């Protein structure tokens, strides 16, 4: 009972600003640490003597695979965790633990399927994803080893969401930090010390993810966690898992379409700009991925507060949390845009010291990040749809930006400019601008409707 009361106090009362900071700061740190798995690999790989550029391009081609694996973890966890938080807000711990158990089994099942698919069809998939004869060796070596650790990625990323949604943000940060520190230490040992190159980077990554997975499972099985993994909840129930998957479709589409987008970008850039353009895209996607982490951390920190208070019927607290989230996200995205426009060489220089690739990457980054100052609006609104359990709208917005807008524009815009490769990069800011405008309008309409709905409930309660 003591732990239960603590959960309610943490999420349902007190200063929203201090609570958001307490939950978001560890989550942001965890997000930054998490992406270091891939960023650190690329930094080390990009500096392998004599082969860094081609090796970096080859590993960049594997990004759709890595994104797809993470997307399936999000499908289960990013739908299950908000629903578990809503159940906690309704004081229904038993239902929340059923959600956790069903999601655990689903993550294991998905991992087995994905491992089989990528091990059998990996090389063919990479050729479709934009690998060339010069880079397929590096790409295949990295992916074959990396995908053997799919089960660890699913459990570490997927179940960690259930730690954060209970308000244990520091524990969630430790989960990721343990693996990332292992990866940072093991990468140079395997890549350079043992002379394993990209194979060493992949091996270091899966060992590190295994450590994270063991940590998160042990915590959720221990008395330290309010919600616990219990065998009795392993039996899949459609009424439990299907609503989680429905709500998780939006973050799944957001991440999975990143995989599809990476394929579209790579194949188009290989056609118009060759291996150097694909290599630049590997750098740009890394910069985007890393720089967006604080935004993702802020929204994940706000999610338990919004979901819990929505379940408890406290609209004023929901609104206050969202307003603060929006202000912080917009402020950060404007800072990010300014940095990309003024000092792109600092960001690109982290991944390569080859003059040609640096020069190409600098002008490409300015184009690619041209509308990044608006990302704060997009991510704050879209993730709040998920926190409020609005699966349909969040799914539509995820599909709009990437599937309806960006993918066609990658092939359309180059037809209207002389520099075809530049046209491919221009597709990103055009799609972002339209998507942000649409998201803002839809969220404003939904928020007004929710306010009226909550006011009606409150009046009914006051009248008995």
- One digit per residue, the tens of pLDDT, for the chain of length 464 reads 334 334 433 566 667 777 777 777 776 776 666 666 666 767 777 667 666 667 777 777 787 788 788 889 989 988 898 899 888 888 889 999 999 999 999 999 999 999 999 999 988 888 877 777 777 888 888 889 999 999 998 999 899 889 888 878 778 778 878 888 888 889 889 888 888 878 888 899 899 999 999 999 999 999 988 889 998 999 999 999 999 998 888 778 777 777 778 788 888 988 898 888 888 887 887 777 767 777 877 887 788 888 888 877 777 888 888 888 889 889 988 988 998 899 888 888 877 777 888 888 888 999 998 988 888 888 888 878 777 877 678 778 878 888 899 999 999 999 999 999 999 999 999 999 999 999 888 888 887 877 776 666 555 555 55
What is Dmax (Cα atoms) for the chain? 77
Q: Would you tell me how many other CB atoms lie within 10 Å of the CB of residue 313? A: 14
Q: CA-to-CA distance for 135 and 141, rounded, in angstroms?
A: 10
What local confidence, expressed as pLDDT, does residue 6 receive? 40
What local confidence, expressed as pLDDT, does residue 8 receive? 39
Q: Which long-range contacts (CB under 8 A, 24 or more apart) does 288-293 make?
A: 288/368, 288/369, 289/35, 289/38, 289/39, 290/32, 290/35, 290/39, 291/336, 291/340, 291/347, 291/372, 292/375, 292/379, 293/28, 293/31, 293/32, 293/34, 293/35
One DSSP character per residue, 115-150 reads: HHHHHHHHHHHHHHTT--TTTHHHHHHHHHHHGGGH
Q: Would you tell me how many other CB atoms lie within 10 Å of the CB of residue 352? A: 23
What local confidence, expressed as pLDDT, does residue 241 receive? 93
| Sign of the four-CA dihedral 151, 153, 157, 163 | positive
């Amino acid at each position: 009972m003591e732990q239960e009361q603590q959960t309610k106090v943490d999420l349902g009362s007190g200063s929203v600003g201090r609570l958001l900071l307490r939950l978001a700061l560890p989550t942001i740190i965890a997000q930054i640490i998490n992406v270091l798995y891939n960023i650190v690999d690329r930094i080390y790989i990009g500096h392998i003597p004599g082969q860094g550029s081609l090796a970096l391009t080859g590993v960049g081609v594997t990004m759709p695979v890595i994104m797809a694996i993470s997307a399936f973890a999000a499908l289960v966890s990013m739908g299950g965790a908000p629903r578990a938080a809503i159940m906690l807000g309704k004081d229904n711990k038993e239902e929340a633990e059923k959600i956790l158990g069903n999601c655990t089994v689903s993550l294991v099942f998905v991992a087995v399927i994905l491992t089989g698919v990528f091990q059998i069809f990996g090389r063919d998939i990479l050729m479709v994803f934009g690998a060339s004869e010069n880079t397929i060796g590096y790409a295949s070596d990295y992916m074959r080893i990396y995908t053997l650790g799919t089960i660890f990625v699913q459990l570490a990323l997927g179940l960690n969401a259930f730690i954060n949604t209970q308000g244990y943000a520091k524990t969630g940060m430790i989960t990721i930090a343990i693996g990332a520190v292992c990866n940072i230490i093991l990468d140079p040992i395997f890549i350079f010390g043992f002379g394993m190159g990209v194979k060493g980077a992949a091996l270091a990554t899966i060992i590190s993810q295994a450590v994270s997975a063991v940590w998160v499972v042990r915590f959720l099985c221990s008395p330290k966690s309010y919600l616990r993994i219990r065998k009795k909840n392993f039996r899949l129930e459609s009424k439990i898992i299907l609503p989680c998957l429905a709500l998780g479709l939006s973050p799944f589409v957001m991440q999975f379409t990143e995989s599809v987008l990476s394929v579209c970008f790579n194949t188009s850039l290989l056609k118009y700009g060759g291996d150097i353009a694909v290599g630049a895209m590997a750098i740009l996607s890394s910069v985007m991925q890393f720089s967006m982490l604080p935004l993702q951390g802020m929204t994940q920190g706000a999610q338990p507060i919004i979901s819990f208070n929505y379940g408890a019927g406290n609209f004023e607290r929901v609104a206050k949390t969202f307003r603060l989230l929006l202000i912080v996200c917009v402020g950060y995205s404007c800072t990010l845009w300014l940095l990309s426009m003024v000092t792109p060489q600092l960001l690109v220089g982290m991944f390569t010291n080859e003059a040609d690739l640096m020069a190409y990457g600098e002008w490409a980054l300015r184009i690619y990040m041209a509308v990044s100052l608006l990302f704060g609006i997009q991510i704050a609104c879209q993730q709040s749809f998920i926190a409020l359990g609005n699966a349909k709208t969040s799914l539509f917005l995820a599909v709009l930006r990437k599937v309806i807008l960006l993918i066609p524009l990658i092939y359309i815009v180059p037809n209207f400019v002389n520099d075809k490769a530049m046209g491919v990069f221009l597709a990103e800011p055009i799609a972002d601008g339209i998507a942000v405008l649409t998201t803002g309008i839809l969220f404003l309409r939904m928020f007004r409707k929710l306010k009226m709905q909550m006011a009606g409930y409150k009046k009914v309660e006051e009248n008995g």
